[in-house]
Structure 1
Amino acid sequence: MPAVVIVGAQWGDEGKGKATDLLGERVDYVVKPNGGNNAGHTVVVRGEKFELKLLPAGILSPQVTPVIGNGVVVNLEALFEEIDLLAARGVDTDRLRISANAHVVAPYHQTLDKVTERFLGKRAIGTTGRGIGPTYMDKAGRLGIRIQDLFDESILRQKIEGALRQKNELLVKLYNRRAVDVEETVQDLLAYADRLRPMVVDTTILLNDALDRGEVVLMEGGQATFLDVDHGTYPFVTSSNPTAGGALTGSGIGPARVSGVIGIVKAYTTRVGAGPFPTELFDEDGERLQRVGHEVGVNTGRPRRCGWYDALMIRHAVRINSFTDIVLTKLDVLTGLEQVPICVAYDVDGVRHDQMPMTQTEFHHAQPIYEMMPGWSEDITACRSLDELPQAARDYVQRLEELAGCRISAIGVGPDRADTIVVHDPLGQRAR
Structure 2
Amino acid sequence: MACTALVGINWGDEGKGRMVDLLAEAFDIVVRFQGGANAGHKIINQYGKFDLHLLPSGVCRPGVVNILGNGVALDLETLVNEIKDQKGIEITPDNLMISERASLLLPWHKEIDVLEEARLKDKHDGSTKQGIAPFYSDKNQKKTILAGELFYPDRLKKHVKELCAWKNLTLEKIYGVKPASEKEVMTWLNEYCEQVKPYIRNTRDYLIKAESDHKRILFEAQLGALRDLDFGIYPFTTSVSTLASYAPIGAGVPGVEVDRVIGVIKAYATCLGDGPFVTEYTGKKGDAFRKMCGEDEPEGGRTVRIGPIDLVASKYGTEVQAATELALTKLDMLSDLDEIPLCVGYKLNGQVITDMPFPSALGDCEPVYETMKGWKCNISTVRNWWDLPEEAKAYVNRIEHAVGCVIRWISVGPERHSIIRRG
TM-score (norm 1): 0.94
Aligned counterparts of 2:363 and 2:156: Cα–Cα separation in 1 = 43
- The residue number in structure 1 matching 2:214 is 214
Q: Deviation digits for residues 101-139 of structure 1, max 9, x if unmatched?
A: 111011111111110110011111111111111111110
Say if 2:90 is the partner of 1:92.
Answer: yes
Say if 2:364 is the partner of 1:370.
Answer: no
Amino acid at match of 2:268: Y
CA 323–18 in structure 1, closer or farther in 2 if over 3 Å, else same: same
Aligned counterparts of 2:345 and 2:5: Cα–Cα separation in 1 = 28
Q: CA offset at residue 303 of structure 1?
A: 2.1
Aligned counterparts of 2:296 and 2:51: Cα–Cα separation in 1 = 12
Query: The residue matched to 1:236 in structure 2 has which SS?
Result: coil
- The residue number in structure 2 matching 1:79 is 79
CA 170–256 in structure 1, closer or farther in 2 if over 3 Å, else same: closer
- The residue number in structure 2 matching 1:421 is 420
% identity of equivalent residues: 35
- Equivalent runs, 1:209-288 vs 2, <5 Å: 209-254=209-254, 257-288=257-288
Q: Deviation digits for residues 250-276 of structure 1, max 9, x if unmatched?
A: 012346532100000000111111100
- The residue number in structure 1 matching 2:404 is 405
Q: Deviation digits for residues 7-52 of structure 1, max 9, x if unmatched?
A: 0001111000010000011110001000010011000113821100
Q: CA offset at residue 242 of structure 1?
A: 1.0
Aligned counterparts of 2:199 and 2:169: Cα–Cα separation in 1 = 35
Instruction: Decide whether the 8 Å contact of 1:37 with 1:299 is kept in 2.
Output: no
Count, aligned residues: 421
Aligned counterparts of 1:300 and 1:167: Cα–Cα separation in 2 = 27
Query: The residue matched to 1:341 in structure 2 has which SS?
Result: strand
Query: The residue matched to 1:302 in structure 2 has which SS?
Result: coil
CA 299–268 in structure 1, closer or farther in 2 if over 3 Å, else same: closer
Instruction: Decide whether the 8 Å contact of 1:113 with 1:131 is kept in 2.
Output: yes
CA 239–143 in structure 1, closer or farther in 2 if over 3 Å, else same: same
Aligned counterparts of 1:407 and 1:301: Cα–Cα separation in 2 = 35
Query: The residue matched to 2:180 in structure 1 has which SS?
Result: coil
Q: CA offset at residue 311 of structure 1?
A: 0.7
Aligned counterparts of 1:395 and 1:284: Cα–Cα separation in 2 = 29
Instruction: Decide whether the 8 Å contact of 1:269 with 1:306 is kept in 2.
Output: yes
Higher mean C-alpha displacement, 73-82 vs 183-192? 183-192
Q: CA offset at residue 284 of structure 1?
A: 4.3
Aligned counterparts of 1:99 and 1:267: Cα–Cα separation in 2 = 35
Instruction: Decide whether the 8 Å contact of 1:383 with 1:413 is kept in 2.
Output: yes
Instruction: Decide whether the 8 Å contact of 1:290 with 1:303 is kept in 2.
Output: no
Q: CA offset at residue 350 of structure 1?
A: 0.9
Instruction: Decide whether the 8 Å contact of 1:125 with 1:275 is kept in 2.
Output: yes
Aligned counterparts of 1:49 and 1:173: Cα–Cα separation in 2 = 45
- The residue number in structure 2 matching 1:192 is 192
Q: Deviation digits for residues 142-169 of structure 1, max 9, x if unmatched?
A: 1111111222223223332333323212
Say if 2:385 is the partner of 1:386.
Answer: yes
Amino acid at match of 2:415: D
Amino acid at match of 1:410: W
Instruction: Decide whether the 8 Å contact of 1:53 with 1:298 is kept in 2.
Output: no
Q: CA RMSD in A?
A: 1.6
List gaps (5 residues or longer) in structure 2: none
Q: Deviation digits for residues 365-408 of structure 1, max 9, x if unmatched?
A: 11111111111210000011121111111110000000010000
Aligned counterparts of 1:259 and 1:405: Cα–Cα separation in 2 = 19
Aligned counterparts of 1:280 and 1:13: Cα–Cα separation in 2 = 15
Instruction: Decide whether the 8 Å contact of 2:80 with 2:196 is kept in 1.
Output: no
Q: CA offset at residue 195 of structure 1?
A: 2.3
Q: CA offset at residue 299 of structure 1?
A: 6.0
- The residue number in structure 2 matching 1:339 is 339
Instruction: Decide whether the 8 Å contact of 1:151 with 1:193 is kept in 2.
Output: no
List gaps (5 residues or longer) in structure 1: 425-432
